[in-house]
Amino acid sequence: MTGTEEKRVSRYRIPILVGLFAFSSLMFIEMASAGPIQDLPASMATSLGTTPDVARMILSSAILLSVGLAMAMVGKRANTMATIIVLISTEGALTGIGWLTPWLLLFTAVLVAAMFAGQIKEKLGG
C-alpha cells in the first residue's frame, strides 16, 4: 500500500471501531424496562385508535427521523459515516427499550454493509 492508500483506509478506522463498539455494547441490553417510556406507545395507541405496535413504529420513526436530520444538517458537509453510526446506535437504544424489533436493527446493519461494500473493497485495493 502506498502512503495515500493508507491515509484513506485509516480515515475509516475510527468510525468503524466506534460503530462496532456501539453495536457490541447493545447486545447486552435485553429489553430494559424504562417505566414511563414503556407506557408512551400504549397511550398513543389508545389516542390514535391503533395497536401498540403501530404506535411504537410511529414513535421510533419520528425519533430516527429527527436524529437523522439533525446529524445530516451538522456542518456544511454532512459526514455520512457518522450519521449512519449515530442512527444505528439510536436504533439499538430503541430496540433496547422495546420499541423496535432486533431484526430491524440487523437488517439495517446488513443493508449499510452492502451499501458500502463496493467502496471498502475499492479502497482496500481489491
- Residue 5: which pLDDT band, with cuts at 50, 70 and 90? low
pLDDT digits over 33-47, tens only? 445 777 788 888 888
- Top pLDDT among 6 and 97 is at 97
- Residue 82: which pLDDT band, with cuts at 50, 70 and 90? confident
Q: b/e map of 71-104 (b: 16 or more CB within 10 Å)?
A: beeeeeeeeebbbbbbbbbbbbbbbbbbbbeeee
Task: Give the largest CA-CA distance in the chain.
Answer: 61
Domain extents for the chain?
3-123
* pLDDT the model gives residue 118: 80
Helical axes 80-96 vs 13-26, angle rounded to 10°: 10
The grid coordinates listed for 108 are 439495517
Q: What is the mean pLDDT of the chain?
A: 76
- Residue 113: which pLDDT band, with cuts at 50, 70 and 90? confident
pTM > 0.75: yes or no: no
pLDDT over 70 (residue 30): no
Closest among 87, 93, 121 to 12, alpha carbons compared: 121
pLDDT digits over 55-80, tens only? 899 889 988 888 888 877 775 566 77
Report residue 124: phi and psi, to 5°: -85, -5
Closest among 19, 28, 34, 27 to 88, alpha carbons compared: 19
